[in-house]
Amino acid sequence: MASKINFPKIKPFNNKSQVTIFIILGLIIVVIVILFFLLRAPPTVRTFNEDEPQAYIESCTREAVEKAINLTSTHGGDIEPKGFINYLSQDITYLCYQNKFYDPCINQRPLLIEHLEKEITNYISPIVERCFNELKRNFEKRYNVEMESQMQLTTDLQSKNINIKINRDFKATRGEISQDFKKFEMNLKSPLYNFAEIAMEIVNQETHFCNFDVIGYMFLHPEYDVIKFITGDSDIIYVITERSTDQKFNFAVRGCVMPPSF
Inside any domain, residue 107: no
Q: Facing residues of 87 across strands?
A: 90
In a domain, 26, yes or no: no
Report yes or no on 140 lying in a domain. yes
For the chain, percent of residues with pLDDT exceeding 90: 73
| Residue 228 domain-assigned (yes or no) | no
* 157 assigned to some structural domain: yes
Tell me if 138 is assigned to some domain.
Answer: yes
The string of DSSP letters for 29-64 reads HHHHHHHHHHHSPPPP-----TT-HHHHHHHHHHHH
pLDDT at 191 over 90: yes
Rounded mean pLDDT of the chain?
88
Amino acid 46 reads R
Q: Could you tell me if residue 147 is inside a domain? A: yes
- As a whole number of angstroms, the distance between CA 155 and CA 162 comes to 7
Whether residue 150 is contained in a domain is answered as yes
Total tally of structural domains belonging to the chain: 1
The residue segments making up the domain with residue 130 are 53-76+112-190
Considering all CA atoms of the chain, what is the largest pairwise distance in Å, rounded to the nearest integer?
A: 110
Section 187-203 average pLDDT: 98
Give the DSSP H/E element, type plus range, for residue 74.
helix 53-75
Sign (positive or negative) of CA dihedral 202, 204, 206, 208? negative
Tens digit of each residue's pLDDT (9 = 90 or more) over 64-84: 999 999 999 999 999 999 999
At 12-69, the pLDDT tens digits run 545 555 556 666 766 677 667 666 555 554 444 444 455 688 999 999 999 999 999 9
Q: Is the pTM of this model over 0.85?
A: no
What tens digit of pLDDT does each residue of 116-153 get?
Answer: 999 999 999 999 999 999 999 999 988 999 999 999 99
Whole-number Å distance between alpha carbons of 57 and 233: 46
Comparing C-alpha atoms, which of 223, 253, 247 is closest to residue 72? 247
Residue 207 above 90 pLDDT? yes
Amino acid 20: pLDDT? 65
3-state secondary structure of 104: coil
Q: Which of 214, 217, 215, 203 is nearest to 254 (CA)?
A: 203
